[in-house]
Amino acid sequence: MLFGGYLASRTRFINMNIIRDGLALLLFVILYYGILLLINGGYGCQFQAVTHLLMFPIIFFFLKVSFSKVITNHLMNTRYVGAVISLVAGLTLEIYMLQYNVYSHALLKDILFPLNIVIFWIIFITLSFILNRASRFITERLINA
């Protein structure tokens, strides 16, 4: 989290190239999941710490891809895609606060795989939006009191 915050404050100093950075991101993600597959298969358990270290380049290249002109100029200016990304980005604190309670609920675990993800996100966004509005309402009342 701190590394991501640090990188976000330094974005104007980072050169971005969507193709080069996208390929590097893909390489590190494949490496990450490759190591996890080996570990889950009973091989290479000594490399488990490497998966944590791989998070640093993954975050770095994900940030670079996210700030590339393709994403910022084209994708974010698309009416619905930009709105959905902005909505989720604005609700990250609320999503973080609710994730365990929603994810661990027994009803959600009983729903079949593809459908449970859709229902999971609908519940997440709805509850996060309600929590966001409630906290803004309370904050405004406290400030104006």
| CB distance 35 to 28 below 8 Å | no
How confident is the model over 54-81, as pLDDT tens digits? Answer: 888 898 888 888 777 777 777 777 778 7
CA-based nearest residue to 57, from 89, 32, 92? 32
DSSP 79-143: HHHHHHHHHHHHTHHHHHHHHHHHHT-HHHHTS-HHHHHHHHHHHHHHHHHHHHHHHHHHHHHHH
Instruction: Dig out the tokens for 30 from the structure.
Output: 């494949």
List all residues 6 or more positions away from 10 whose beta carbon is below 8 Å from its beta carbon: none
Judge whether residue 22 has pLDDT over 80. yes
CA-based nearest residue to 128, from 90, 95, 96? 95
Instruction: Dig out the tokens for 107 from the structure.
Output: 């009803």
CA-based nearest residue to 61, from 87, 41, 34, 32? 32
What distance in Å separates the CA atoms of residue 27 and residue 25, rounded to the nearest whole number? 5
Judge whether residue 125 has pLDDT over 70. yes
Give the model's pLDDT for residue 145.
67
Instruction: Dig out the tokens for 67 from the structure.
Output: 């700030």
If one compares 5 and 142, the residue with the highest pLDDT of the two is 142
Write the DSSP symbol of residue 74. Answer: I
Longest CA–CA span in the chain (Å) reads: 62
CA-based nearest residue to 24, from 66, 65, 68? 65
